[in-house]
Amino acid sequence: MSWREWIRTVEVEPSLYGADFAHLGDQVESLLRAECRVFHFDIGDGHFVEPVTMGPIVLQAIAPLVHHHSGVFDVHLMVESPAKYFAPVAAAGGDSVTFHYEAADDVPATIRAAREAGLQAGVAFSPETEPETVAAVAADADIVLCMAIHPGFSGQPFREETFARVERLRTALPDVPIQVDGGVNADNIRRLREAGATLFVAASAIFAADDLPRAYRRLVQTLA
């Protein structure tokens, strides 16, 4: 399936930022065996967010394995000047880019630039940004990402106000798939679904477990 088709379904997306990088290929393979097909890849630049995370050369190393199993890569750009990264991400095997509202001067133009690079386009927003403000400029996006933490690090606690923020976003943009990222786990995923989200990113809830496929399937089953 293409990313365009995946975003119309309900998906749990492992965030590779939480992976054990010494065993990245093995961990991705174990999740593919558990029928996971959408992977989230965080690029942080040390400016928009404090940490430098990982970049196109890591994506390029792992994308063939995921694509071989008909999977897709959803790339979350936690960076200043996001459009600079579109061509390198596309060349490395990314399928979509989600850039931050707070980092883009012109959201519709940045969406167009992503599509010109052959990518699907998402718009993310941080806890200090109002959902309606983003909705006003993101109606044309393929997905909108409501952050449930301040972007930057895995392992932060889920912010409880996210449920209401997802509901507000759902009201403002009834037709755009909503993704949630940050602190997503088996205790909050179902309520996030009820609030209107369909795409759930999870690092710690999967990679901190001893049995990754089991942790992934538990989240999927909690949604069923």
Pairing between β-strand 120-125 and β-strand 96-100 as defined by DSSP bridges: parallel
Is 142 part of the annotated catalytic residue set? no
42: contact with Zn ion by CB under 5 A: yes
Given 31, 110, 181, 219, the residue binding Zn ion (CB under 5 A): 181
- Which residue, 68 or 206, is less far from Zn ion as judged by CB? 206
The answer to whether 204 and 18 are in contact (CB under 8 A) is: yes
11: contact with Zn ion by CB under 5 A: no
Active-site residue identified among 42, 45, 74, 95 = 42
Residue 100 one-letter amino acid = H
Is 181 part of the annotated catalytic residue set? yes
The answer to whether 90 and 117 are in contact (CB under 8 A) is: yes
Choose the one of ligand DX5, Zn ion, none that binds residue 195, judging by a C-beta under 5 to 8 angstroms depending on kind: none
Active-site residue identified among 175, 181, 187, 210 = 181
- Which residue, 93 or 182, is less far from Zn ion as judged by CB? 182
The answer to whether 97 and 82 are in contact (CB under 8 A) is: yes
Choose the one of ligand DX5, Zn ion, none that binds residue 83, judging by a C-beta under 5 to 8 angstroms depending on kind: none
Given 76, 100, 165, 170, the residue binding Zn ion (CB under 5 A): 76
Binding site for ligand DX5 (CB under 6 A): 15, 17-18, 40, 42, 76, 149, 151-156, 181-184, 201-205
* Cβ neighbours for 16, distance < 8 A, ≥ 6 positions apart: 24, 28, 39, 40, 41, 42, 54, 62, 203
Question: 3-class SS at 180?
Answer: strand
